[in-house]
A and B are shown apart, each in its own frame.
Chain A
């Protein structure tokens, strides 16, 4: 059995750990609130963007001369997977679950004979995927220095994607991230970026507004599509940030509780051992006295 001193140091070290996890949980919940606000703040932009794009795209598909970003290259051979994850660990299964669906998707595509390229945003999923797919990993964009995700971070990612698309390095691009549902539930999601997956607007609700387009529809669409993709990435990064904090919060909550359980059981052992030693000493004294 461990000595009293050993038990004592263990108890105090678990207590120290508990304090850390507790603090991390509180930090995560504060950051989560901020991240959620950031998501809410993108709504007005998202709504407008969707309406305008929906309107334009509906007209465009009918005409059949849609820009490549919308219609795709017409082929389906090379897939680019953009995998967004966190920069830090200690957030439960967050990073692994994103890496997992990305991995499954990669294997699936490869078994269909498609070529796959992977671009990682955030270090953690990259670390996981590198083990298996190091030969098809292109690059990792790290956002470690970013305290708060801003639009320019998304723009760096999208610029990279456009550059590759222009150079014809892939046909289909999809983005992996975790959608934030609640603190206990973050859903790893795949979203197709190129060809753009634009939900068709339902047949003009009531008012049939005839817009004037300036310059013309094609040019506006050509201008809007890249913006929309940057924005989709921005939104995904924000969702991811919120999910990360949510996952960390529940992971740290668990850790704090486990540390509490551990402290309880260690304290129990400590007290038992202490009593056992006292009893032993008493018996020794008594039997010593009897022997005289």
Chain B
């Protein structure tokens, strides 16, 4: 795939990343998926996980998001996330804090659907934590 598309990573406070890229791996809430140029227009929510972006110059960038949603059109991809951080800046303590917090929420929640969702997020976070420690 030679085509590039613009990948925008936007948080409420600012635009974190906006560059032409070749591909992006997205942690969608129903599984990871990879976006190339001319992807079918999609809107999806995200699970916590790592976004892997391949830039024009074949550099790889990985960014951790806690959740958010993505709007894919043929020319550009916009990812709206409340909290995003480059993996290199991510510390184990922060992740563990997030995991603990989710665990508490899991205890507190009564709704079955919500429980499943939180469990899913929890599992995702644990995977990220493992990847980081390696």
Interface of A, secondary structure class, is helix
Q: Of the 9-residue stretches B5-13, B54-62, B87-95, B124-132, which lies at the interface with chain A?
A: B5-13
In the complex, are the beta carbons of A150 and B13 less than 8 A apart? yes
Distance (whole angstroms) from the CB of B47 to the closest CB of chain A: 11
* B-chain residues with CB within 8 Å of residue A56 when the two chains form the complex: 43
Given contacts A48-B80, A220-B45, contact A214 B28 (CB under 8 A): yes
Complex: A231 Cα to B83 Cα, angstroms: 13
Distance (whole angstroms) from the CB of A148 to the closest CB of chain B: 9
In the complex, are the beta carbons of A44 and B41 less than 8 A apart? no
B4 within 8 A of A: no
Task: Give the number of chain A interface residues (Cβ < 8 Å).
Answer: 29
A49 within 8 A of B: yes
B1-59 interface (Cβ within 8 A of A): 8, 10-15, 28-30, 40-45
Distance (whole angstroms) from the CB of B77 to the closest CB of chain A: 11
Listed residue (A41, A44, A151, A210) with the most chain B CB atoms within 10 angstroms of its CB: A44
B96 within 8 A of A: no
A42 within 8 A of B: yes
In the complex, are the beta carbons of B14 and A212 less than 8 A apart? no
- Output the nearest chain A residue to B40 by Cβ-Cβ distance: A212
In the complex, are the beta carbons of A210 and B41 less than 8 A apart? yes
* B-chain residues with CB within 8 Å of residue A224 when the two chains form the complex: 45, 69
- Output the nearest chain B residue to A235 by Cβ-Cβ distance: B12
A227 within 8 A of B: yes
In the complex, are the beta carbons of A52 and B71 less than 8 A apart? yes
In the complex, are the beta carbons of B10 and A45 less than 8 A apart? yes
In the complex, are the beta carbons of B82 and A212 less than 8 A apart? no
Complex: A11 Cα to B21 Cα, angstroms: 66
Distance (whole angstroms) from the CB of B9 to the closest CB of chain A: 10
A234 within 8 A of B: yes
In the complex, are the beta carbons of B30 and A214 less than 8 A apart? yes
Given contacts A48-B71, A214-B30, contact A220 B14 (CB under 8 A): no
In the complex, are the beta carbons of A223 and B69 less than 8 A apart? yes
Residues of A within 8 A of B (CB): 38, 41-42, 44-45, 48-49, 51-52, 56, 150-151, 154-155, 209-215, 219-220, 223-224, 227, 230-231, 234
